[in-house]
Structure 1
């Protein structure tokens, strides 16, 4: 994939989530159990929710860190997060930013959650760049949870022993029936671990749950 094509697709993802933000947020009311379990033993000064969407996991970070920052490329989703923060009475910082250029200082993040976002980045180099950025901002004793859609998901017809993933689009259907295509890169679990290793992040645990690849990192 050329840089031009990758850059264009990243812009498309921003536009798509700006368009569907309100309806998408309505379907994302509750945190994932895997995130709740990860954060149950977390603590620190600064928490990062990378690809925060409507802030459902940013809210959890405010309970275990002194300051929580939610970063997302979509202004529409950040607006939903702002509303959620007001309605649910929690306080955090919400910042528009690119997952491949995290707007935080190196070594500053004690706890990070990066779920259901990496798979939207349009080429391997941008995904690796994003993981390297996560490694850059993590404190020396920081911890992170990363997830992506997996070839093991029931939605996809992929071999159980697949070594590489694939690109696809998955439509989002708005209440009026309009469909909006969303780009995904679907990771094979072993491929996910290879990219994590190449990024410099240290994997302390990895598993597949509910059709998603997860990795706990330091």
Structure 2
């Protein structure tokens, strides 16, 4: 998918932002347990370090390491409302392409399951560039995105599948008809996340695959 920016924004408003606002309580009820590698990344940060969770959802990663100062943000007003009510800490509504933080102001950033919702390659790279701009020299950015290679998962995608997909989220309510919402995803092929990080001006420190996701830890070229 290669929409012009205005078209991409409208498409994402329909197939990402409005969807997450509609499904927020149901989505949040399925998101509680931190993934091991992300938890390890956070627990490895030194006491007192300051970081961002961009696209924090219901804020499940904010309390993982209580010695850190983590500021959360999400594009969904409803998920931010839930995060504020369920977690301690500062959580704001913000677009990942227009973050309200000073450049070079934090020690680390995590961005989990966010950039795959951006519908053009340039917007995905712009997002990574924005994340890198937030960290101080030597700071690290951890990014997760859904993988194309999921042949062992219930979704069954693999190398020959389309990389741009609408993925249904079905909400079942007692006594009411099921409601189905279509969420846009760009499914990352092997090596693509590293390519995007480098194109955005990052230096890849480490990368890998976990739970049907590709992940990368990168730092700024200026570090």
Q: Does TM, normalized by the shorter one, top 0.5?
A: yes
More helix per residue: 1
Alpha-carbon RMSD: 1.6
The residue that corresponds to 1:88 in the other structure is none
Is the Cα–Cα contact under 8 Å of residues 48 and 58 in structure 1 kept in the other structure? no
Q: Does 1:47 align with 2:51?
A: yes
The residue that corresponds to 2:103 in the other structure is 106
Separation in structure 2 between the aligned mates of residue 75 and residue 59 of structure 1, nearest angstrom? 20
Q: Does 1:152 align with 2:152?
A: no
Separation in structure 1 between the aligned mates of residue 109 and residue 162 of structure 2, nearest angstrom? 25
Give unpaired runs (5+ residues) of structure 1: 86-90
Deviations 1:34-88 (A, max 9, x none): 2111112113532100100000012225x242x2110100000001101211xxx
Deviations 1:176-197 (A, max 9, x none): 3111110000011211111111
DSSP-derived class of the 2:52 partner: strand
The residue that corresponds to 1:210 in the other structure is 211
Distance 1:165 1:47, change over 3 A: farther
TM-score (norm 1): 0.90
The residue that corresponds to 2:92 in the other structure is 95
Distance 1:107 1:21, change over 3 A: same
| Structure 2 counterparts to residues 175-194 of structure 1, below 5 A | 175-176=172-173, 177-194=178-195
1:202 Cα deviation after fit: 1.4
Is the Cα–Cα contact under 8 Å of residues 43 and 64 in structure 2 kept in the other structure? no
1:122 Cα deviation after fit: 1.4
TM-score (norm 2): 0.88
Separation in structure 1 between the aligned mates of residue 120 and residue 106 of structure 2, nearest angstrom? 26
1:165 Cα deviation after fit: 6.6
DSSP-derived class of the 1:146 partner: strand
| Structure 2 counterparts to residues 66-85 of structure 1, below 5 A | 67-85=69-87
The residue that corresponds to 2:168 in the other structure is 171
DSSP-derived class of the 2:63 partner: helix
Separation in structure 2 between the aligned mates of residue 82 and residue 134 of structure 1, nearest angstrom? 22
Is the Cα–Cα contact under 8 Å of residues 165 and 191 in structure 1 kept in the other structure? no
Give unpaired runs (5+ residues) of structure 2: none
Is the Cα–Cα contact under 8 Å of residues 12 and 184 in structure 2 kept in the other structure? no
